[in-house]
Chains A and B, each alone.
Chain A
Amino acid sequence: MTEFLTTVFNLIQGILGVAPTTLALALPWMDIFWAFVYFVGAVILLIINVIMLIWIERRAAGFFQERVGPNRVGPFGLLQTVNDTIKLLGKEWIMPASADRMVFLIAPLLVVTVAVTMYGLLPYGPGITPVTLNVGILFFLAVSSTNTIAVLMAGWGSNNKYSLLGGMRTVAQIISYEIPMALSIIGIVMLSGSLDLGEIARSQSHVWYVFIQPVAFVIFTISALAELTKSPFDMTEAEQEFVAGYHTEYSGIRFTLFFMGEYANLFSMAALGVVLFFGGASGPWLPPWMWFIGKTYVFILFLLWIRWTFLRIRVDKMMKFNWKFLIPVALANLLVTGVGIKLWQHFVERSI
């Protein structure tokens, strides 16, 4: 492959009349090539995920509620989402006349951009991490909270009272639940001693962190549901209160983009949970990336099971639960973890 690329590059240089040698060594063509391979792979994974997850959401929710769910298009109704997407691709552009044009148009694009970027940060297995950052976990959280801006843009730009209410509530909810999530992750970082996602996954070769940090796992699961605005925390799309929240005015392909972003984020959030608590891509017999995807889907099913089981809670109760229960518990968990590690080092490892 390298020879081929070098040949092509030299050919281009020859055509341009530039003296060969210098540039070929200075520019990392292989890196750029691999970056493109990773990007295309991530996009394919994202599309497969969206198709599968929407199917699971509709079909499995159907079984949970003792009905059939979509079963007409393709085997087991698997092609239903493809069908819907193609249908939505041919829909008219409708934008409210009073909307803030720029903000209204950019919001759904931003959602997909954020979703794709998050796929680049996940460690799918040894050697298959598109972007290895030494501050990976911090960057992941930073990128994922960019969604807040997209939602606020959508709610504000629509110039619709329901949209604005939905957008504001979403922002309040997402930023509030980000704190317990970040605090629960700090315990893991203390144990692994690294901010790199791949490193955190590798440090669980002996025992998964879910067994050492069960409280953090519960906090993480609850805040992940809230971050994803899934029921019981789906105040943002409470149909009985305001039509559909921040995407009331969106239709056709822009609505699809919001949906794509939502389900893509469901996968990346569950994948983060797998990296932090379930040992990432480790496992016997099968190739690591299969373990990673498999574990992530099990965790997604767990999240969706919660979603289908519990009813929506009231918005004031949700905020109260976060600030008066979850954050104090997360802080206490942090303290207990710190004391625990120091005691372990003192009595077992005898290093201090």
Chain B
Amino acid sequence: MAKEFGTLFLFLAGGFVLSLVIVFVNWLLRPRNPSSAKARTYECGLETEGPTWVQFKISYYLYALIFVVFDVEVVFLYPWASSFKSAGLVPFVEMAIFIGVLALGIWFAWKKGAFEWN
């Protein structure tokens, strides 16, 4: 296992170093000609107005919340699925109940209008 995670670490670190090298080559080759006009925020030529980092539309957070619920569900499902064939009927029924509860959750969010974008 140490070998596998070592290789994985090499890929992670190597990928980062690779991108750093590409940026470094660009840093060596780039022309240096700064001006304040280039550093302005580009919004189709209009002057930017007001702060960008404001409180955002609530729908995004609703989606994120429902996503967390379902992602955790999926993580629970994976180990169950990998031993599904060897397991008997009882785990199957248990998981059917588990998914049923979550389907109920989807139905609730649906009726509450969490999936409406307005």
A interface, CB within 8 angstroms of B: 28, 31-32, 34-36, 38-39, 42-43, 88-98, 108-109, 111-117, 119-120, 130-133, 137-138, 156, 158-162, 164, 168, 171-172, 175-176, 178-179, 182-183, 186-187, 189-190, 193-195, 243, 248-249, 252-254, 256-257, 315-316, 319-320, 323-324, 327-328, 331, 334-335, 338, 341-342, 345, 352
Taking the closest CB of chain A, its distance from the CB of B58, in whole angstroms, is 12
Query: Could you say which residues of chain A place their CB within 8 Å of the CB of B99?
Result: 331, 334-335
- The answer to whether A253 touches B42 (Cβ under 8 A) is no
A interface, by DSSP: helix, strand, loop or mixed? Answer: helix
A sample of 12 more A-B contacts (CB under 8 A), given A89-B29, A114-B15, is A91-B26, A91-B30, A92-B31, A96-B41, A98-B48, A159-B52, A160-B52, A186-B81, A253-B22, A257-B22, A323-B110, A342-B92
B interface, CB within 8 angstroms of A: 3-4, 6-8, 10-12, 14-16, 18-20, 22-23, 25-27, 29-33, 36, 38-44, 48, 52-53, 56-57, 59-60, 63-64, 66-67, 70-71, 74-75, 77-78, 81-86, 88-89, 92, 95-96, 99, 102-103, 106, 109-110, 115-118
Query: Could you say which residues of chain A place their CB within 8 Å of the CB of B64?
Result: 171-172, 175
B interface, by DSSP: helix, strand, loop or mixed? Answer: helix
Return the chain B residue nearest A338 by Cβ: B92
Taking the closest CB of chain B, its distance from the CB of A320, in whole angstroms, is 6
Taking the closest CB of chain A, its distance from the CB of B109, in whole angstroms, is 8
* The one of A94, A109, A133, A190 that contacts B23, using a Cβ cutoff of 8 Å: A109
12 contacts between A and B (CB under 8 A): A34-B7, A93-B27, A93-B30, A116-B14, A120-B7, A156-B53, A161-B52, A168-B56, A171-B60, A172-B59, A175-B67, A328-B106
In the bound assembly, the distance between CA atoms of A328 and B10 in angstroms comes to 40
